[in-house]
A and B are shown apart, each in its own frame.
Chain A
Amino acid sequence: MTTTRFHAPERLDEAIRLLAADDEARPLAGGQTLVAMLNADLLSPSQIISLHRIAALKGIEKRSDGSVRIGAMTTHAGLARSDVLRDGHRLLAQAAGRIGHEAIRNRGTIGGAVAHGDPSADYPPALVALDAVIEAVGPKGKREIPASDFFQGFLTTALGQGEIVAAIILPPSLNQARTHYEKFARVEGDFATVSVAVALWRGGVRIALGGVGPVPVRSAEAEAELQAGQLSDAAINDAGALLVAASDPLDDVRGSADYRRRLIPRLVKRAIRAAQAKDAR
């Protein structure tokens, strides 16, 4: 029987040192996934490295270039009510507010959710649509990974051994966009069957889908079609079909693959129309 040791370092470099030295050690953020896995006997880490005391992982800050840096330990509830996220960046607050239930949002964090890499989770499509960057820190220092490269497969991310998510950075550009997050779930608080994150701006369109593939799904053709067709009903129908073709959904308890394919065009249309209805900038 193994003994699980517990550390709650105050310094980020200390947490990284502990994690890098032991590949059976696990970082703990809000515990809303990790503790559920411990309870189900799916994991027995040698050490739990709790990140809750590390000041460098906290806070949401607007920087002078207009980008927003969100510390990894920011809770879903904290993001949902943050007034630092404005205009186009509200997409992320909207997604945060749709995660689980109030009690889950009060403790679960963006860093933990992003590191877990669940393709049905709400942040991955929202971050891809916002062209966000994941700031990762590890034994070799800091690197910035675009969200579209970060999510690599089912529960698989670009993080290396001993590396943790330190922050999420939203670039300033898409703050000018009109955005919307549309989530379709069986019941309130469930993971998405299909979700759609949309950003529309003068120069383009970005759409990312959740729940319909191992990573958030985009289609360059669909985005070009929408742009060229000026978001007409016909262009949206064509884009919907292109996104269905780009998707790779599974049959699971939240819906069959076929059901998900039928949802995509409808939700894409709903999301685009809802984004358009927001104030133009």
Chain B
Amino acid sequence: MSERVAVEFKVNGATHRVSVPATRTLMAVLRDDLGLTGTKNGCEQGVCGSCTVLVDGAPARACLALAATLPGVEIVTVEGLAQGDTLSPVQQAFLDAGAIQCGFCMPGMIIQATALLTENKRPSDDDIRHSISGNLCRCSGYAKVIEAISLAASRLAP
């Protein structure tokens, strides 16, 4: 049990006002209060990366952020990447490269890759490996993930 705190933030462009216990994580709010279950609950220790979301554009672990500390921020989850029925270039590249196996780590991987390609338009394989080093894939399909991110980069390059 915790005292409730009122917070307002944006998720995928929509403003949400929630009343949360002090210890409630952003992950719990996204999944259980807002029904955005794309963000996955893996380890709850920040290690696996499957709950990675963008907070004001920067990748963050939703499991380690208390919602009460986030008034006014803009959050983007995997549900916020597509434009209507059109997948984002990173999502499309993951499909085209066959990078998705069981899919559990994919929301976090795709968010992390989206952040990488915003900062670095032409990442080397090494840059890509470094960037996704905090996103564990238990199917161990990293080779295809790296191909997918390279493919997205080449499609996005001017």
Contact = CB atoms under 8 A, between A and B. Distances in A.
B107 interface: no
Interface string A27-55: 01001100110111000000010101000
Contacts of A8: 68-69
B46 interface: yes
For the complex, would chain B's binding face be called helix, strand, loop or mixed by DSSP majority?
mixed
Given A3-B1, A31-B64, A39 B45 contact: yes
Nearest to A6: B22
A5 interface: yes
A64 interface: no
Interface stretch (B30-38, B53-61, B89-97): B53-61
B126 to A, nearest CB: 11
Contacts of B46: 32, 36, 100, 103-104
Interface residues of A, number: 29
A52 B66 CA distance: 12
B29 interface: no
Contact of A31 (B21, B58, B66): B66
B147 interface: no
Given A4-B22, A32-B46, A188-B133, 20 more contacts: A4-B1, A5-B3, A6-B2, A31-B69, A32-B61, A35-B25, A35-B64, A40-B45, A48-B22, A50-B69, A101-B49, A101-B133, A102-B59, A102-B131, A102-B134, A103-B59, A103-B61, A107-B61, A107-B64, A189-B134
